[in-house]
Structure 1
Amino acid sequence: MRISKALLARTFGCSLMLLVSAVAYSGPETTTQGALQLWALRIPAAEKLVYRGLLNLDHAGVGNSAGMVYPAPNAAGAIAALITHGLILESAKSQQRNAQEEAANQVLQPYRAVLDGYGPEELMQRGREKMATEGDKYLLPPRTIPEPSAWVVESAPVFFLTQDQRALVLDNTVYIQAPNAPAESAQRQSVRVVSNPTLADDASEYWLKEGGERLKAESAALLASSLDIALAELKEPAASPALPYRTVRYREGGSEKMERAQIVRESCGRSLIRNLRGYLMQVPTIASAAGKTLSATPGDCLASAMD
């Protein structure tokens, strides 16, 4: 059977058009890494948010016990005595730590009514609205299956209030799971965000104004910053091994703190750093203007600190 040249030409032309169309279509909108720009922010399953008083461990420790002597008749007895001494010391440390944490949490007493009415879903909703990360972001209830094309972002935020009540600190462990990937493949990122200190004469009155709105808004801003930092880390690591480590001084409420870390970025009086433990921290620098909360910071300035 003969096939005309015209038919062959038409067949080849149609095939070429189909091939070009297939190559040109790459599916839904993607980022430069090929990751779908759809983020499912899972709401924590806990009924209440975790707020604690920030514990200062700079001078913590059990009293000098180096002089404690346990008589032992032989080597076996000496080993048993050392084990006993270790157990007693660990028990003493645990008891002391528990007592210190209980005392530190007393700073939260004026805020109990506000915090008891501030749940994980409201926090995540507020945080989602403040995030600078591009793409569609929707809240995913606990134990709910996400959309097939969505990246799943889970977090375990723990908030701290400094003892002078001038700043909030967030420690957030963020897990990021690729679409249709097993849960065990999720990438883990630990992020700490320290708020700018307030200069209000009465810090408690400042946070509780308008039914605790400032406390809620600042908590959401810290959450949004931590998620933005973690998602940016997924796209591109924040610090290369070549960056030198240096002593970074920053504000933690009314106190000055120091951290040995790599300086990743500095913007708007805040620094993004990676400490020796590998954690990312966003902190207010010593020279930053105090009194400006993250929730009150212009969005473009806050976003630039993440970029």
Structure 2
Amino acid sequence: MASAQGAVDAANLRWSVGVAQQPEFHGVLNKDGAGMKGGQILYPGGAGLAGLFVAVLTHAAINSSVQTAEMKRLQDKADAVLVPYAQALQSLSTDDLMMRTQEEVSQRGWLPANASLELRPVFLMTQDRRAVLMDVAAQFNDGSGAPTSTLGMRVVSDPRAVTQEADDWAEADGYGLRRVCVALLTRAVQHLIGHLGNANRAGDANAPAAAERTVRFVEGGAQRMERATVLEQRCGRALLRTLSNTLMSVPLAATTSADAGCETTPAAAPAPAATASAPAPGA
């Protein structure tokens, strides 16, 4: 049974206003075909504050020569990767995803009793169907009377092996995709609360700033690079703070040793040569 603290945690974790009944899913856009720099991703976003968050999260940069109709054509082409998953996606609901995420958070007591966290996620499937990315805009209030903090984050799932004969993400009941989405949301909540909570507390002004470095990670079967500060590295994943002050939780391209307490997972298939990416959001 969840503790009283856990019940408070769940009540204070919620969607931002305007989140639809079904989660927003897109295919990862071909960046080269869209006339965009590596690492920049474009997908439809809301207006107003939510639209601003999407811009922060994705660092979407549309060249002036690229027209809206052309971008829609490219996004429609990218979204074709979702066709085999139409039934599974139809079975998903944001209410169910939030309830399951609340249960995970309640068990861990991550959210302080007076704090609240609002989320607005967008999910993206890689074109090789091996990973799901989640860009999420977060608003955090620690309950102290301080102004609400906002932050963008990207979480990249661990790559999976997939064959035409066995693809659990395509199951009509949505179990496979639901499990991935809840895992991404839970991981995001853990890191967002930790990062935003620490940011609201006074730190050591004399502490040396962490050095930035180039981090290699995998996005499905592709290898990417990000210039960032490593905030945490454990169990084959890293939590990064990008040059634009957004967070990324990513599976590392290579690890040297296993950490104690980590689950053993099959090694990812060798990735192609790394592609440099512009600072992007969201271990």
Query: Is the alpha carbon distance of 1:39 and 1:242 closer, same or farther for their aligned partners in structure 2, counting shifts above 3 Å?
Result: farther
Contact preservation (8 Å) 1:261, 1:276: yes
2:278 alignment partner in structure 1: none
Distance 2:114 2:15 in 1: 15
1:201-220 to 2 correspondences below 5 Å = 201-202=163-164, 205-209=167-171, 211-220=173-182
1:68-111 deviation per Cα after TM superposition (whole angstroms, max 9, x unaligned): xxxxxxxxxxxxxxxxxxxxx73643332221111101111111
1:153-193 deviation per Cα after TM superposition (whole angstroms, max 9, x unaligned): 111010000000000000011111243859xx321111110
Contact preservation (8 Å) 2:215, 2:225: yes
- Does 2:101 match 1:127? yes
Contact preservation (8 Å) 1:170, 1:193: yes
Contact preservation (8 Å) 2:25, 2:122: yes
Contact preservation (8 Å) 1:39, 1:151: no
Contact preservation (8 Å) 2:92, 2:174: no
Give the Å deviation of 1:251: 0.5
The aligned amino acid for 2:127 is: Q
Distance 1:233 1:136 in 2: 12
Question: What 5-or-longer segments of structure 1 have no aligned partner?
Answer: 1-28, 31-35, 63-88, 139-148, 293-305
Query: Is the alpha carbon distance of 1:204 and 1:54 closer, same or farther for their aligned partners in structure 2, counting shifts above 3 Å?
Result: farther
SS at match of 1:236: helix
- Does 2:13 match 1:41? yes
Query: Is the alpha carbon distance of 1:127 and 1:101 closer, same or farther for their aligned partners in structure 2, counting shifts above 3 Å?
Result: same
1:285-300 to 2 correspondences below 5 Å = 285-287=252-254, 290=266
Give the Å deviation of 1:152: 2.1
Distance 2:165 2:226 in 1: 26
- Does 2:196 match 1:196? no
223, 239, 248: which is aligned to 1:256?
223
Contact preservation (8 Å) 1:196, 1:290: no
Question: What 5-or-longer segments of structure 2 have no aligned partner?
Answer: 37-62, 256-264, 269-282
1:150 alignment partner in structure 2: 114
2:238 alignment partner in structure 1: 271
SS at match of 2:173: helix
2:213 alignment partner in structure 1: 246
1:72-87 to 2 correspondences below 5 Å = none
- Does 2:75 match 1:113? no
Bigger RCO of structures 1 and 2 (CA < 8 A, at least 6 apart): 2
TM-score by length of 1: 0.63
Instruction: Choose 124-133 or 270-279, whichever is displaced more.
Output: 124-133
Give the Å deviation of 1:42: 1.8
Bigger radius of gyration among the two: 1
Distance 2:163 2:116 in 1: 42
Distance 1:110 1:119 in 2: 18
Q: Which structure's residues are more often helix, by fraction?
A: 1
- Does 2:64 match 1:100? no
Query: Is the alpha carbon distance of 1:100 and 1:128 closer, same or farther for their aligned partners in structure 2, counting shifts above 3 Å?
Result: same
Distance 2:219 2:10 in 1: 34
Contact preservation (8 Å) 1:165, 1:204: no
1:137-158 deviation per Cα after TM superposition (whole angstroms, max 9, x unaligned): 79xxxxxxxxxx6322111010
Identity %: 30
The aligned amino acid for 1:280 is: L
CA RMSD of aligned residues (A): 3.3
1:222 alignment partner in structure 2: 184
1:295 alignment partner in structure 2: none
2:124 alignment partner in structure 1: 160
